[in-house]
Chains A and B, each alone.
Chain A
Amino acid sequence: MSHTKHKTIRMIKDKIFLIVVGTLTLLAILPLFHIILSIFEKGLPIVMERGLTFITGTLSEGGIGPAIVGTLMLTIMATLIGLPLAFLAGAYAYEFPDSFIGRGTKMLLQIMLEFPTILVGTFIMGLLVIPMGSFSALAGALSLALILTPYVAVYTEEAMAEVPRIYKEGGYALGCTRAQVIFKVITKMAKKGILTGILIGMAKVAGETAPLLFTAGGLYEVYPTDPLQPIGAIPLLIYTLVQSPSPQDHQMAWGAALIMLLIFLSIFVPIRYALKDDIKL
């Protein structure tokens, strides 16, 4: 009698547990759908209404063209600055995982990965913007490069570590130097992982706002041309528009958020799907 009762209690507990786990999982991912729906609901009308002007026009014409170009320019400049540094640092951390400097490098890169991004912005402001006397695309790109570097470096290191040791040994057996083995053999074999790291790093910095607050300055009435002049970016523009009291600005912000979301998803989702098989379950 009491035995079956005990069993029933256990079964009920089990059912409650399943329901709780399922509900909380749903609750954890629900915000994403709500965010995407809200952005489409609020952003789509304004983008449809303005049409191509929204993508190409300046802010007073009712478009975010300069911001889109600014984000592109900043991302590319940041990649050009950060990539060589990141690749070499990642390669070093891969080659010397047990040495003091190698371990320190890896630790440092992981810390930089989690570093508050606003601090990078204020650092570059003191280092570059104040001495130069004005906000500039260069300063913006430099602070983004500081954020991109650890991403690419960590991905590079991990991708290289995945390459079977036998290829490395083969390279040395053929009489290659260390530089040849790593830069020609291992790099080529780890190409996919490194490329993923670069793209994820780029997607990340393209959406960053905080490091640009005190470095890029903002430029929304003309297209940016000079790297030493201020520049705009979509996230920065959204941040400014959200803080404005006017409802028209809020509408613009929603439209810009829609464009930002589409750019992010179109880069991020294909990469993530390409990596599907790497997920351990």
Chain B
Amino acid sequence: MKILKQLDKFKIATLPAIFIVFLLFVLMLGFYFINALPAIEKYGINLFITNIWQAAEDPAKEVYGLAAPIWGSIYTATIAILIALPLSICYAIFVNDYAPKKLKHPLIIISDIMAGLPTIIYGIWGAFILVPLLRDYIMKFLYNHLSFIPLFNYPPLSGYCYLSAGILLGIMVTPFAAAIIREAYAMIPSVYKEGLVALGATRYETTKVLIKYIKPAIISGLILAFGRALGETVAVSLVIGNSFNLTYKLFAPGYTISSLIANQFGNAILYKYMTSVLYSAGLVLFVIGLVVNILGLYYLKRWREYVSH
């Protein structure tokens, strides 16, 4: 009787939905794990720390190592964050403190449109417009004049490279990070600002202190943006050049985990182990993405609780 009372109609209606959502998640994790197992068993740890890609009809000759795509994912996402950091902080400061009233809403809506814009639109623009621009005006200049710096000494032939992917990702995740930072900046109690102004601080000095106040929110925004950059697929695969290249050189073509899956999954069925290798790559992305997102969400939640108290 008591159990029946607890299970009211609301729970009867919603619990199956909750069950399905959880089930799907567990199913997905299990699915990636089971499908990754054959490759992990065959190649062991070498699958993740060597850079090699030998597809062969004969399964005995197949050798794979995912070091280059794993490195590529982290490298491009890091470049993206380095670009997004100054842009999103300045955007948040400008919208909250300096933009004329008439400009505020348009600025916010523009940034929201950018955050929601289909990624394939960034992809086509990146592949046909951004890459040639970067190659002709930035990469060639850096290569010709500063190639004694190892970062720049890879000849920028096609322009499809780590740097292009990082910059495109930076453009894509900036509005996302900016939205979190802007919201946090708006939540700073106004007494702090008033106090600083009363002390005679200039606008620069005021902002410098206020930015320190929202540091946790900035960090969590950047962590979440990093996670988003890791998972981005089509835009990246159109500009990164798609080749196995384990290097820090900015103008070298590369791979990310997601662009590797997008490119190779279609013909992976022809080989015995490639599908499993790609599922292992997916598992790596799954786990990194999970850790990064939980970390970012946790920090953000803690900051929001701290501010609202």
Q: Which residues of B contact A214 (CB under 8 A)?
A: 265-266
Question: A119 touches which one: B32, B171, B232, B297 (CB < 8 A)?
Answer: B32
**Of residues 44 to 69 in A, which have CB atoms within 8 Å of B's CB atoms?**
none
- Residues of B in contact with A, size category: 35 or more
Mark contacts of A108-139 with chain B using CB atoms, 8 A cut-off: 1 yes-contact digit, 0 otherwise.
11111011111110110111000000000000
Q: Is the CB of B120 within 8 A of A28?
A: no
Q: Is the CB of B231 within 8 A of A116?
A: yes
Q: Does A173 contact B (CB under 8 A)?
A: no
* Sampled A-B contacts (26; CB under 8 Å): A13-B202, A17-B207, A18-B204, A20-B90, A21-B94, A25-B90, A32-B113, A42-B128, A88-B17, A91-B10, A105-B21, A111-B294, A116-B230, A117-B231, A118-B233, A146-B24, A177-B9, A203-B116, A207-B118, A210-B119, A235-B234, A243-B238, A261-B121, A264-B117, A269-B109, A272-B113
Q: Does B196 contact A (CB under 8 A)?
A: no
Report the Cα distance A182→B8, complex, angstroms: 12
Q: How far is the CB of B98 from chain A (nearest CB, A)?
A: 7
Report the Cα distance A118→B118, complex, angstroms: 14
- Residues of A in contact with B, size category: 35 or more
Q: Is the CB of B111 within 8 A of A118?
A: no
Known: A35-B122, A178-B10. 17 other contacts (CB 8 A): A10-B205, A16-B204, A35-B117, A108-B21, A110-B297, A111-B293, A118-B231, A118-B258, A118-B285, A207-B119, A207-B120, A210-B119, A213-B262, A238-B124, A260-B118, A276-B105, A280-B183
Report the Cα distance A25→B93, complex, angstroms: 9
Mark contacts of A188-213 with chain B using CB atoms, 8 A cut-off: 1 yes-contact digit, 0 otherwise.
00000000000010011011111001
Q: Does B43 contact A (CB under 8 A)?
A: no
Knowing A89-B21, A204-B116, A280-B186, say if A29 contacts B110 (CB, 8 Å): yes
Report the Cα distance A146→B231, complex, angstroms: 16
Question: B28 touches which one: A28, A105, A123, A280 (CB < 8 A)?
Answer: A123
Most interface-central of B13, B32, B234, B261 (chain A CB within 10 A): B234
**Of residues 168 to 213 in B, which have CB atoms within 8 Å of A's CB atoms?**
171, 174-175, 178, 183, 186-187, 202-205, 207
Q: Which residues of B contact A88 (CB under 8 A)?
A: 13-14, 16-18
Report the Cα distance A120→B207, complex, angstroms: 42
Report the Cα distance A208→B107, complex, angstroms: 25
Q: Does A166 contact B (CB under 8 A)?
A: no
Q: Which residues of A contact B134 (CB under 8 A)?
A: none
Task: Identify the A interface with B (CB < 8 A).
Answer: 10-11, 13-14, 16-18, 20-22, 24-25, 27-29, 31-32, 34-35, 38-39, 42, 84-85, 87-89, 91-92, 95, 101, 104-105, 107-112, 114-120, 122-123, 125-127, 146, 149, 153, 177-179, 182-183, 200, 203-204, 206-210, 213-214, 235, 238-239, 242-243, 250, 253-254, 257, 260-261, 264-265, 268-269, 272-273, 276, 279-281
Report the Cα distance A206→B116, complex, angstroms: 11
Report the Cα distance A109→B262, complex, angstroms: 25
Name B168's closest neighbour in chain A (CB-CB): A31
Question: B117 touches which one: A11, A27, A32, A182 (CB < 8 A)?
Answer: A32
Q: Is the CB of B93 within 8 A of A21?
A: yes
Q: How far is the CB of B306 from chain A (nearest CB, A)?
A: 17
Report the Cα distance A10→B121, complex, angstroms: 44
Q: Which residues of A contact B279 (CB under 8 A)?
A: 122, 126
Q: Does B127 contact A (CB under 8 A)?
A: yes
Q: How far is the CB of B264 from chain A (nearest CB, A)?
A: 11
Task: Identify the B interface with A (CB < 8 A).
Answer: 8-10, 13-18, 20-22, 24-25, 27-28, 31-32, 35, 86-88, 90-91, 93-96, 98, 104-105, 107-114, 116-125, 127-129, 171, 174-175, 178, 183, 186-187, 202-205, 207, 224, 227-228, 230-234, 238, 258, 261-262, 265-266, 278-279, 282, 285-286, 289-290, 293-294, 297
Question: B111 touches which one: A28, A111, A268 (CB < 8 A)?
Answer: A28
Q: Which residues of A contact B232 (CB under 8 A)?
A: 116
Report the Cα distance A34→B128, complex, angstroms: 12
Q: Is the CB of B28 within 8 A of A119?
A: yes
Q: Which residues of B contact A213 (CB under 8 A)?
A: 233-234, 262, 265-266
Q: How far is the CB of B173 from chain A (nearest CB, A)?
A: 11
Q: Is the CB of A111 within 8 A of B290?
A: yes
